[in-house]
A and B are shown apart, each in its own frame.
Chain A
Amino acid sequence: MIANFARAFRLLSSDVEPYQLSLGICLGIVAGLSPLLTVQTLAVILLIIVLRVNFSMFMLSFGLVSVIAYLADPLIVLVGQQVLAIESLKDLFTQMYNSGLWRFLNFNNTAAMGSLVISLISILPLFFIFLVLIKKYRHVIERYLKNSRMFRWASQSKILTKAASMTDKVS
């Protein structure tokens, strides 16, 4: 975990395109929210393979969101339950329910539907938010940190560099 964080910080400062990092974080969130094999899980797997997404960032956000989602499960289930109970969508859901593919993708599961809805609503805003934040980090915070005494001391410290390389090896 520490290694992942260290790598994430290194990535933030690397040449990797901000959109790749932001997309990795967002896809990690989407995959982490989903409890079962769902539409979004398949979509995420496909997007990770096809698009230039930063995999380390994806793994980090997936791990973090899985833990958070476990705690937020009642809320996700409640959202799914509310959505599946929308009267105007009943016909659509009934059609989907009678389709083998949709049933295979567990669309009628409250947790799956809740996570899908939350993912759909949040993915675009989050993508842009993280994009802006990464850019801001690189322009403002990174520059400030690089000039700070503590950063210089930490980067020159043999103990910290050794610890970082060790955690890298272990991970």
Chain B
Amino acid sequence: MKVIRVKALLGFVISVSVITVILYLFSGTVLKWILQSQLTAANGAEVNITGVELSVTPLQLSITAIAVTDKENPTENLVEIDSAHVELSTESLLKSKIIISNMSVNNIRFSTQRASAGKIITETAEKADEKSIENNERLETTSLDLPDIDTLMDKVGMQTPAAIDSLDKSTDEVRKSWGEMEAYLDDTKKWDAFQDRYKKIKTDYKKGNTKTKLKALKALKDLNKEIKKELNTFSVQRKKLKTEYAELKSAYEKASQAPDNDINKIKSSYQLDGGGMENISRILFGENISGYLMTAKKYYKKVQPYLESDDDAVTTQEERQQGRYVHFKDFNPEPDFLIEKAGFSTLLPSGEFIGTATDITADQYVQNKPSVVALSGKHLKHSKAEDIKLTVDLRNKKERNLIFTYDISARQVKDYKVAGGDTLPLQMKTARLDLKSNIKFQNKKINGLAECKFTKVKFSSQRDTSKRSMASMIASSIEKVTDFNVDVRATGKPLKPKLRIKSDIDNKVNKQLKRRFNQIKVDYEKEVKAKFQQRYGDKIKAIEERMASIDEYKSSLESRQDGLKNKLNSYKK
């Protein structure tokens, strides 16, 4: 009785051996295909891998030439890596954990040209998002050009023309009304008739008999009655004259004040009070800082889910369809995925950077260690040293922290565009920069400080500094600055931080700037007034003349009225 099947056993051993050999021989091709398809799906654009090698003892994976297509620009690679070497722990793999004990990534390069355009798998709305950030969240900078006065006068909405028109209309109405009054006073026949009647009464009374005298007295009484009536008319007319004159005077005063009001309005609408000059550093660095901020926001959005998620990342016990896993004390607790140590080198435009990454995992609580990525510049083109360190601390689910530090020592700045656009095209021709920055994301809030120290500075402005404008004036003042500090502090919500830019350049520039600014202010105001005079001077002069003639007219009417009044009163006796 043969219990063991020798042939079957041999067949089994041979089959297993053949499968193992085939798997080992083709593992590279299979893994390459798996990695390429998985990475392409994750990236949304073609990812190419030239070769993958797998060795079993110890478990190692070597990948050569990885090219990740930039989905926004398929003719370029987002990242290109010469080679990557990964050492995995077999023991941990059996426990369904991917533990990379050592990893090295060599020669990482960014934005390299592709031999042929990479295939795009998915389009993203990221670009549109960035544009909206760009449009909405650019820092406001003050306009530094003095505006054209004519354009300004048309734009501001001037009171003067309306006031002059209104005064003209009132003057015409008054003249018309007073003309009627004058016509009344000019009625010589009427006034002569009063005189004739008075003379007749006087003669009748002196020479006549009693009857005639009585008749004369009656006639005098009638005359007095009529004189009283006329005097009443005078009084009404005088009142009207006074009221109309007062109204006209008020309109005149309004019209006289209008030019001053308009000039003040022009001044305040373009901040000729120098309010925009207070923070020169914001004008100088605001635009660049907002650019850096946008880049930071772009990266923050990518890590935001890890930093702001309140979900439990890990459950300690898994419930399965069949049975339950009982967990015992783990002598060496390990997260599901961990890169214990990684070394990488990258070639950036500024030079070669060597970096290390330790304890990269989303389950940091298992080992109670934060993930740290450190980059250090070597053989840099423009700096003595550059150090970047990123610490991601996700150990406490309620208090996830990210600390980013970036230190630059003795960076040679050359042709750095400080303030861009038409506002103030200013360049830092040469300078030495020392930077210390520390940005913390804590409890969904940002608290960052970047301290920049610029020495041996040489500014250059593309503006004609002799030209009298605020921008030229600032440029000319800044050109004299040789060293200064800039502190940028960002606080609040990471995607909408409050920025505070502080610099001693404000103090350095402000003194001479204020003096020059005051001179420009005086000149500009003079120019505004002259322009005003040119536009409305004749009209203003005309209304003054008209007002003077009105005054004259009024006095003549009053004196004539007074004369007639006296005359009429003399007829009463």
B5: chain A residues within 8 A (beta carbon): 49-52
Candidates A35, A50, A85; contact of B323 at CB < 8 Å: A35
- CB of A141, distance to nearest CB on chain B (Å): 24
Is the C-beta of A73 less than 8 angstroms from some C-beta in chain B?
A: yes
Bound: A81/B324 CA distance, A: 8
- CB of B147, distance to nearest CB on chain A (Å): 77
- Stretch among A101-109, A124-132, A145-153, A154-162 lining the B interface: A101-109
Question: Does B9 lie within 8 Å of A50, measured CB to CB?
Answer: yes
A94: chain B residues within 8 A (beta carbon): 328-329
Q: Give the residue name and chain of the B residue nearest to A115 (CB).
A: B323
Is the C-beta of A112 less than 8 angstroms from some C-beta in chain B?
A: yes
Is the C-beta of B115 less than 8 angstroms from some C-beta in chain A?
A: no
Is the C-beta of A21 less than 8 angstroms from some C-beta in chain B?
A: no
Bound: A103/B329 CA distance, A: 13
Is the C-beta of A77 less than 8 angstroms from some C-beta in chain B?
A: yes
Question: Does B330 lie within 8 Å of A97, measured CB to CB?
Answer: yes
A106: chain B residues within 8 A (beta carbon): 325
Within 8 A of B (CB), among A65-117: 73, 76-77, 80-81, 84-85, 90, 93-94, 97-98, 100-101, 103-104, 106, 108-112, 114
A142: chain B residues within 8 A (beta carbon): none
Q: Give the residue name and chain of the B residue nearest to A48 (CB).
A: B8
Question: Does B322 lie within 8 Å of A73, measured CB to CB?
Answer: yes
Question: Does A100 lie within 8 Å of B329, measured CB to CB?
Answer: no
Candidates B90, B93, B323, B329; contact of A97 at CB < 8 Å: B329
Bound: A111/B320 CA distance, A: 10
Is the C-beta of B464 less than 8 angstroms from some C-beta in chain A?
A: no
Question: Does B322 lie within 8 Å of A36, measured CB to CB?
Answer: yes
Q: Give the residue name and chain of the B residue nearest to A70 (CB).
A: B322
Question: Does A100 lie within 8 Å of B94, measured CB to CB?
Answer: yes
What is the size category of the interface that chain B forms with chain A?
A: 20 to 34
Question: Does A100 lie within 8 Å of B324, measured CB to CB?
Answer: no
Within 8 A of A (CB), among B316-367: 320, 322-332
Candidates A50, A93, A103; contact of B94 at CB < 8 Å: A103
Q: Give the residue name and chain of the A residue nearest to B332 (CB).
A: A98
Candidates A51, A90, A98, A101; contact of B330 at CB < 8 Å: A98
Candidates A76, A90, A110; contact of B328 at CB < 8 Å: A90
Bound: A73/B94 CA distance, A: 26
Is the C-beta of B95 less than 8 angstroms from some C-beta in chain A?
A: yes
Bound: A103/B330 CA distance, A: 12
Bound: A145/B330 CA distance, A: 61
**With A17-B1, A49-B9: A97-B324 Cβ-Cβ less than 8 Å:** no
**With A17-B1, A98-B331: A109-B323 Cβ-Cβ less than 8 Å:** yes
Cβ contacts B1-30/A at 8 Å (1 or 0 each): 111110011001000000000000000000
Q: Give the residue name and chain of the A residue nearest to B16 (CB).
A: A49
Within 8 A of B (CB), among A33-79: 35-36, 49-52, 73, 76-77
A36: chain B residues within 8 A (beta carbon): 322-323
Is the C-beta of B92 less than 8 angstroms from some C-beta in chain A?
A: yes
Within 8 A of A (CB), among B73-93: 90-93
Question: Does A52 lie within 8 Å of B94, measured CB to CB?
Answer: no
Question: Does B326 lie within 8 Å of A84, measured CB to CB?
Answer: yes
Bound: A16/B402 CA distance, A: 72
Question: Does B8 lie within 8 Å of A50, measured CB to CB?
Answer: yes
Question: Does A51 lie within 8 Å of B12, measured CB to CB?
Answer: no
Bound: A105/B100 CA distance, A: 22
Residue in B8, B96, B328 with the greatest tally of chain A CB atoms within 10 Å: B328
A90: chain B residues within 8 A (beta carbon): 328
A49: chain B residues within 8 A (beta carbon): 5, 8-9, 12
Q: Give the residue name and chain of the B residue nearest to A98 (CB).
A: B331
Bound: A54/B501 CA distance, A: 85
Residue in B91, B326, B327 with the greatest tally of chain A CB atoms within 10 Å: B326
Bound: A27/B210 CA distance, A: 170
Question: Does A35 lie within 8 Å of B322, measured CB to CB?
Answer: yes
**With A50-B8, A50-B12, A109-B325: A101-B94 Cβ-Cβ less than 8 Å:** yes
A112: chain B residues within 8 A (beta carbon): 323
Question: Does A97 lie within 8 Å of B327, measured CB to CB?
Answer: yes
B94: chain A residues within 8 A (beta carbon): 100-101, 103-104
Cβ contacts B128-151/A at 8 Å (1 or 0 each): 000000000000000000000000
B3: chain A residues within 8 A (beta carbon): 51-52
Q: Give the residue name and chain of the A residue nearest to B320 (CB).
A: A109
- CB of A33, distance to nearest CB on chain B (Å): 11
Q: Give the residue name and chain of the A residue nearest to B324 (CB).
A: A110
Q: Give the residue name and chain of the A residue nearest to B12 (CB).
A: A49
A104: chain B residues within 8 A (beta carbon): 94-96
- CB of B125, distance to nearest CB on chain A (Å): 43
- CB of B5, distance to nearest CB on chain A (Å): 6
Bound: A93/B9 CA distance, A: 32
Question: Does A111 lie within 8 Å of B323, measured CB to CB?
Answer: yes
Question: Does B95 lie within 8 Å of A100, measured CB to CB?
Answer: yes
Bound: A50/B330 CA distance, A: 36
- CB of B6, distance to nearest CB on chain A (Å): 9
Q: Give the residue name and chain of the B residue nearest to A35 (CB).
A: B322
Bound: A100/B334 CA distance, A: 12
- CB of A26, distance to nearest CB on chain B (Å): 14
Question: Does B8 lie within 8 Å of A108, measured CB to CB?
Answer: no
A85: chain B residues within 8 A (beta carbon): 326
Bound: A73/B320 CA distance, A: 13
Candidates A50, A52, A110; contact of B326 at CB < 8 Å: A110
Bound: A35/B328 CA distance, A: 21
Question: Does B95 lie within 8 Å of A103, measured CB to CB?
Answer: yes
Question: Does A109 lie within 8 Å of B324, measured CB to CB?
Answer: yes
Q: Give the residue name and chain of the B residue nearest to A97 (CB).
A: B328
Q: Give the residue name and chain of the A residue nearest to B6 (CB).
A: A50
Bound: A22/B328 CA distance, A: 38
- CB of B182, distance to nearest CB on chain A (Å): 119
Bound: A100/B9 CA distance, A: 27
- Interchain Cβ contacts under 8 Å between A and B, 7 examples: A73-B322, A94-B328, A97-B330, A100-B95, A108-B326, A109-B320, A110-B326
**Residue positions of B touching A, CB distance < 8 A:** 1-5, 8-9, 12, 90-96, 320, 322-332
For the complex of A and B, 10 pairs with smallest distance between CB atoms: A111-B323, A100-B94, A97-B328, A35-B322, A100-B91, A104-B94, A110-B323, A109-B323, A94-B328, A103-B95
Q: Other CB < 8 Å A-B pairs besides A85-B326, A94-B328, A101-B94, 9 of them? A: A50-B5, A50-B9, A51-B3, A81-B324, A98-B328, A98-B330, A100-B95, A108-B325, A109-B324
